[in-house]
């Protein structure tokens, strides 16, 4: 039996105790998080097209997750808002 | 109790001892926006100081996933609840930045010097509870790799990583509570240490420290804590030929989020104006970094650049009233702040002073309707004796993995 297959032992001080947090998120907090991504890339000098590309590309998991959840119109609106204030 | 001045609270407060200050203060800035919780800092500390018998549960440095993680479990929500109970509806900041509530010293129960609690063994047990960990990692045996690759949980809620070491407080609660006077603050650098000879393991320091950074060694039966890697700070490590060096946790930081140094203090404990000390610049000039739970009243000396995607109410509770200003300074950094941020982790030596040589314009963009110009300035770091340690440029190369190699595994 490999280490990965062993059951969690509460008395093992070195054991990893991971947990997935399935917490509902309010709209304002979600928007704030999404805005941070866009703002970060804009400060790096990325064009709007390049930023949209990061949302479309599944390799960029966090940004892509936003596009999958909210749709492309939400992302375009986000970029427009952060670009022009 | 004596009256001492706490600049983070903007007022005098009660403290068991008369006001005295070190000549210099060990301090650091942690940029929470950049931490990836790789725990290299935790392991660097552990492999240096806490790998012996009796230290199995000790993590002088830990990184926890907020809001739910904590080491020991729920340390901050517990002390916040105790304070709220001691001062119902009173734990508030005035508009001028003065704290109107009670500190852990002022809220102490009768016959106690500090308000606190002793964590249980179970609470010390899981330093990385709620940390990001692969949800699918079952080895099929072939090369030890998981079928279909390992998978991290997809987060739908905000969270961030909080890096924690001893704050080497200006008014340490551990020292205030020790019945043996075994805890002291070094006059030369403000590092807080436990005298292992004097300590008898009463654990009053563990109970009093609101950050829960003193820990009990059941093998030696005395308490231990982060020693600020003082041999390195003193410069006695041979690596840098006698020049003061940053701690293990700082220098090991993969994400380059930490910068530690020494700040000169006035006799009243305020920071001496030192315009070109990077810590002075970030804390006092740019005001981009804030202390952790300043309302506890210990005047902690680790400063945090707050994570800017997190609800402000939560951050204000954690870092005090300067949150909005700090986030604004970080999201639209000045030319000088951008240069200072490049000093993080280019060297193991302590940077005492910096200078900036202006460079050409790298690019111009627009964010939130405002023009933002990026200049490729050069920042130069100096030792205490004025010798140059290194120089580095603001503009960093950006390398994008080509689509056909989007995942190396």
Q: Does the residue B89 lie in any domain?
A: yes
What φ, ψ does residue B241 adopt, rounded to 5°? 55, 45
Q: Does the residue B358 lie in any domain?
A: no
Among B374, B328, B370, residue whose Cα is nearest residue A84: B370
Mean pLDDT (chain B) is: 93
When divided into structural domains, chain B yields a total of: 1
**Is the pLDDT assigned to residue A25 strictly greater than 80?**
no
Asked if the Cβ–Cβ distance from B154 to A21 is below 8 Å, we say no
CA angle B238, B243, B249 (to 5 degrees): 75
**A contacts of B159 (beta carbons < 8 Å):** 21
Range of the domain at B306: 2-131+157-334
- For B368-406, write each residue's pLDDT tens digit: 999 999 999 999 999 999 999 999 999 988 787 787 776
Cβ-based contacts under 8 A for chains A and B:
92
**B contacts of A61 (beta carbons < 8 Å):** 154
Q: Which residue from B141, B310, B365 is facing A45, i.e. has the nearest CB?
A: B365
Write the ipTM: 0.80
Asked if the Cβ–Cβ distance from B398 to A44 is below 8 Å, we say yes
What's CA B95's distance to the chain center, in Å?
A: 26
Are the CB atoms for B190 and B323 separated by under 8 Å? no
Q: What is the largest CA-CA distance in chain A?
A: 58
Q: Tell me what pLDDT residue B170 has.
A: 98
Q: Does the residue B172 lie in any domain?
A: yes
* pTM score, whole prediction: 0.92
Q: Tell me what pLDDT residue B132 has.
A: 62
Are the CB atoms for B108 and B173 separated by under 8 Å? no
Asked if the Cβ–Cβ distance from B368 to A4 is below 8 Å, we say no
The alpha-carbon gap from B368 to the nearest alpha carbon of chain A, in Å, equals: 4
Q: DSSP letter at B238?
A: G
Q: Does the residue B152 lie in any domain?
A: no
CA-based nearest residue in chain B for residue A28? B311
Domain boundaries, chain A: 38-85
Q: Does the residue B273 lie in any domain?
A: yes
What φ, ψ does residue B366 adopt, rounded to 5°? -125, 130
Q: What is the mean pLDDT of residues B161-175?
A: 98
Residue, of B232 and A18, whose pLDDT is higher: B232
Q: Tell me what pLDDT residue A10 has.
A: 61
Query: What's the CATH code of the domain at B288?
Result: 3.30.70.20
Asked if the Cβ–Cβ distance from B367 to A24 is below 8 Å, we say no
Q: What is the largest CA-CA distance in chain B?
A: 69
What's CA B159's distance to the chain center, in Å?
A: 17
What φ, ψ does residue B53 adopt, rounded to 5°? -60, 140
**Chain B residue set in contact with A, beta carbons under 8 Å:** 56-57, 68, 125-126, 128-135, 137-139, 141, 153-159, 308-311, 331, 362-363, 365-370, 372, 374, 398, 401, 403, 406-407
Label residues B216-244 b or e (16+ Cβ within 10 Å = b).
bbeeeebbbbbbbbbebbebebeebeebb
């Amino acid at each position: 039996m490999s280490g990965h297959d062993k059951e969690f032992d509460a008395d093992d001080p070195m054991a990893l105790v991971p947990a997935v947090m399935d917490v509902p998120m309010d709209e304002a907090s979600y928007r704030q998080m999404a805005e941070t991504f866009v703002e970060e890339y804009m400060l790096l000098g990325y064009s709007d097209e390049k930023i949209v590309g990061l949302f479309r590309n599944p390799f960029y998991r966090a940004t892509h997750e936003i596009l999958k959840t909210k749709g492309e119109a939400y992302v375009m609106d986000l970029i427009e808002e952060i670009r022009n204030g | 109790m004596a009256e001492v001045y706490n600049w983070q609270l903007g007022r005098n407060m009660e403290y068991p001892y008369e006001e005295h200050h070190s000549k210099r203060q060990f301090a650091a800035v942690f940029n929470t926006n950049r931490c990836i919780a790789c725990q290299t800092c935790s392991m660097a500390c552990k492999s240096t100081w806490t790998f012996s018998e009796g230290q199995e549960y000790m993590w002088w440095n830990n990184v926890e996933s907020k809001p739910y993680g904590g080491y020991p479990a729920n340390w901050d929500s517990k002390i916040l609840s105790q304070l709220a109970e001691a001062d119902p509806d009173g734990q508030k900041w005035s508009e001028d930045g003065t704290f109107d509530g009670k500190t852990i010293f002022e809220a102490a129960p009768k016959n106690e010097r500090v308000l606190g609690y002793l964590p249980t063994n179970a609470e010390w047990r899981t330093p990385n509870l709620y940390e990001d960990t692969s949800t699918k990692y079952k080895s099929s045996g072939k090369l030890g790799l998981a079928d279909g690759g390992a998978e991290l949980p997809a987060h739908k809620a905000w969270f961030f990583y909080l890096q924690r070491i001893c704050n080497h407080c200006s008014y340490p609660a551990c020292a205030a509570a020790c019945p043996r006077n075994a805890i002291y603050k070094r006059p030369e650098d403000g590092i807080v240490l436990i005298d292992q000879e004097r300590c008898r393991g009463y654990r009053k320091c563990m109970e009093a420290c609101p950050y829960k950074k003193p820990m009990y060694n059941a093998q030696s039966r005395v308490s231990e804590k982060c020693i600020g890697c003082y041999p390195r700070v003193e410069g006695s490590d041979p690596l840098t030929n006698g020049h003061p060096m940053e701690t293990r946790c700082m220098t090991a930081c993969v994400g380059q989020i930490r910068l530690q140094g020494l700040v000169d203090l006035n006799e009243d404990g305020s920071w001496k104006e030192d315009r070109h000390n990077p810590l002075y610049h970030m804390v006092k000039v740019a005001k981009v970094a804030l202390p952790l739970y300043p309302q506890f009243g210990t005047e902690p000396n680790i400063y945090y650049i707050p994570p800017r995607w997190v609800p402000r109410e939560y951050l204000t509770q954690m870092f005090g009233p300067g949150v909005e200003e700090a986030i604004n300074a970080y999201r639209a950094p000045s030319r000088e702040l951008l240069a200072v941020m490049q000093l993080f982790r280019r060297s193991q030596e302590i940077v005492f002073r910096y200078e900036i040589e202006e460079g050409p314009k790298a690019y111009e963009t627009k964010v939130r309707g405002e023009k933002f110009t990026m200049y490729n300035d050069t920042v130069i770091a100096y030792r205490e004796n004025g010798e140059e340690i290194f120089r580095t440029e603001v503009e960093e190369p950006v390398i994008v993995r080509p689509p056909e190699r989007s995942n190396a595994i």
